[in-house]
Amino acid sequence: MNYDRSTVTPGIVHLGIGAFHRAHMAAYVDSLLKDNPSWGIIGASLRRPDTREALAPQDFLYTLAIRDASGTQPRIIGSILDVLDANTQRAQLIETMANPAIRIVSLTVTEKGYCHDPSTGELDETHPDIVHDLAHPDAPISAPGIIAAALDLRRRRGLIPFTVMSCDNLPSNGKTAGRIVRRFAELRGGGTNLTNYVQSVSFPSTMIDRIVPATTEADRKIINEIIGLDDAWPIMTEPFTQWVIEDAFPAGRPPFETVGAQLVDDVEPYELMKLRMLNGSHSTMAYLGYLAGYQYVSEAIADPEIHQLIQGLMTKEVMPTLPMPRATLEAYRDQLLARFANPALKHRTWQIAMDGTQKLPQRLLGTIRDRLEKGQGIQRLALGVAAWMRYVTGIDEAGQPIDVKDPMAARLRQIADGAGGDASRLAGDLAEVTEIFGTDLKMNATFAKEVTTHLASLFARGAAVTMAAVAERR
């Protein structure tokens, strides 16, 4: 920290103050506070009180540990001034968001926090949290509900709106956030005044990138030994970090460009590249790696077959769908393969496997659609989808249970139980889940054939043999 924390005042409220935010945006803001002390962050947890409980006794300071094969670099982050627990401090949170000093409300609430239909990106009006928030607009629990309540308060006070900056791994995350908040405000009532006010809110898109595994007890010990202090919740991450931001902040913004962020007019090409290359590979590796017995990404990518498969997935199937020059994509791919191999990051395949129903559309299915339209092959992408299908049966190759974390886990399990290991039936029934696959993919014969063939092989021969066969194909 190169600034006097007592001079820092809040300018940002961040919803979803998890490990990712604390490794990424909070670190950028920490770097700029010396010259711009009016941009401190007030964080909020929407679900659990644990971040507040861990950080309050240490005045919200924490260690960010940057790790690779050469060692661990600890850095103390001071940009988070307070953390509110939305469940018990809801009124205070909304009041804080309505403070005129707050010019940005940013979000990392994960894909499912948008309460949307992942295949269309529209608000899911039947989502229990949305139903709750429409019935109790002054006691909201969802991100769209909380944002709408705070915007309404600002409107009533004659203040300009804050800018809403999504930092989640969604395609056109700003557009998605905007669509959802606007629709929620329409449904919430408050008449044309609120609807018009929300129309004037800016929702810039961002591409955010840093690999941040969940902190473990072992990590805590390592960090506390290095720093010689008792940090209740340090964060572990990699040296790489990237942030591309659409420059649309009518209420003002910190000079993010002075601390390494890229401010651009159009984020979409960057988002597409990151979601399809990095996250598409991640999810594919997570399902196949987990099934093949690998606990961490670094172990999975050290398997020559998985390395070859992921390299082939990116080079042969993903890169041709992206608008960037080939040399840029090759360099990006090689950097990703090196990042995945970082042995100091204990990034669990199980962690990435979480919430597949929310992730598959933007990570694999968009690429698949683009290729099918052009009559191009999808064998590696389809293997990723088949591995997800095999994973959500909830039983691994040794017959042990898999702890499948997903908002749709119960429904997926029911479908899997109904199919009883019949690959063709399982693939067909899962492809009917339109929230993931839309209405087009289940009708596509190539998609059905590729996915079913892989799934049958995963059941009969296991992940290791199946991926070895695909890795070597041209």
Least Å from the CB of residue 211 to ligand CS2: 4
**Piece of 193-201, 214-222, 245-253, 274-282 that binds ligand CS2 (CB under 6 A):** 274-282
3-class DSSP state of 348 = strand
Task: Note whether 28 and 261 are within 8 A (CB).
Answer: yes
What token pair was written down for 265?
């007019």
Q: Pattern 356-395, binding to ligand CS2, x per CB under 6 A? A: ---x------------------------------------
Instruction: Please state, in angstroms and as integers, the Cα–Cα distance from residue 177 to each residue in 144, 205, 264, following that order.
Output: 8, 9, 19
**Piece of 181-189, 229-237, 276-284, 429-437 that binds ligand CS2 (CB under 6 A):** 276-284
C-alpha 269, offset from chain centre: 17
Which residues does 132 contact at the CB level (< 8 Å), separation at least 6? 140, 141, 142, 145
Q: Which residue has the tokens 């890795």?
A: 471
Long-range contacts of 366-374 (CB under 8 A, 24+ apart): 366/171, 366/272, 366/275, 366/276, 367/276, 367/280, 367/317, 367/318, 367/321, 368/441, 368/447, 369/440, 369/441, 370/321, 371/317, 371/320, 371/321, 372/444, 372/446, 372/447
**Piece of 92-100, 158-166, 207-215, 317-325 that binds ligand CS2 (CB under 6 A):** 207-215
Is 279 among the residues that bind ligand CS2 (CB under 6 A)?
yes
Least Å from the CB of residue 68 to ligand CS2: 15
Closer residue to ligand CS2 in complex, CB, 233/350 = 350
Least Å from the CB of residue 210 to ligand CS2: 5
Is 282 among the residues that bind ligand CS2 (CB under 6 A)?
yes
Closer residue to ligand CS2 in complex, CB, 19/319 = 19
Q: Which residue has the tokens 């390592």?
A: 222
Closer residue to ligand CS2 in complex, CB, 86/211 = 211
Closer residue to ligand CS2 in complex, CB, 92/279 = 279
Least Å from the CB of residue 282 to ligand CS2: 4
3-class DSSP state of 265 = coil
Closer residue to ligand CS2 in complex, CB, 278/408 = 278
Is 346 among the residues that bind ligand CS2 (CB under 6 A)?
no
Amino acid identity, position 135:
A
Q: Helices in 228-279 by DSSP H: which ranges?
A: 268-273
Task: Note whether 171 and 362 are within 8 A (CB).
Answer: yes
User: Which of 72, 262, 351, 376 forms a contact with ligand CS2 (CB under 6 A)?
Assistant: 351
For the chain, state the CA radius of gyration.
22
Is 352 among the residues that bind ligand CS2 (CB under 6 A)?
yes
Closer residue to ligand CS2 in complex, CB, 20/184 = 20
Is 211 among the residues that bind ligand CS2 (CB under 6 A)?
yes
Closer residue to ligand CS2 in complex, CB, 163/206 = 206
**Piece of 56-64, 206-214, 303-311, 369-377 that binds ligand CS2 (CB under 6 A):** 206-214
Minimal CB distance to ligand CS2: which residue?
282
Is 210 among the residues that bind ligand CS2 (CB under 6 A)?
yes
Closer residue to ligand CS2 in complex, CB, 13/211 = 211
**Piece of 41-49, 80-88, 227-235, 278-286 that binds ligand CS2 (CB under 6 A):** 278-286
Least Å from the CB of residue 317 to ligand CS2: 18
Is 466 among the residues that bind ligand CS2 (CB under 6 A)?
no
Which candidate, 202, 89, 199, places its Cα nearest to that of 141?
89
Other Cβ atoms within 10 Å of 26 Cβ, number? 24
- From the number of C-beta atoms within 10 Å of its C-beta (0-12, 13-18, 19+), residue 448 rates as middle
Least Å from the CB of residue 308 to ligand CS2: 20
Least Å from the CB of residue 140 to ligand CS2: 26
Is 146 among the residues that bind ligand CS2 (CB under 6 A)?
no
Closer residue to ligand CS2 in complex, CB, 8/27 = 27
3-class DSSP state of 263 = strand
CA angle, residues 312, 314, 319, in degrees to nearest 5: 125
Query: Which of positions 20-59 make contact with ligand CS2 (CB under 6 A)?
Result: none
Is 209 among the residues that bind ligand CS2 (CB under 6 A)?
yes
Closer residue to ligand CS2 in complex, CB, 143/352 = 352
- The gap between the terminal CA atoms of the chain, to the nearest Å, is 51
Least Å from the CB of residue 164 to ligand CS2: 20
Task: Note whether 65 and 223 are within 8 A (CB).
Answer: yes
Going by the DSSP 8-state scheme, the letter that residue 406 receives in this structure is -
Task: Note whether 99 and 107 are within 8 A (CB).
Answer: no
Closer residue to ligand CS2 in complex, CB, 284/452 = 284
d(CA 272, CA 252): 27
Least Å from the CB of residue 108 to ligand CS2: 10
* Residues found near ligand CS2 in the complex (CB under 6 A): 169, 209-211, 278-279, 282, 351-352, 359
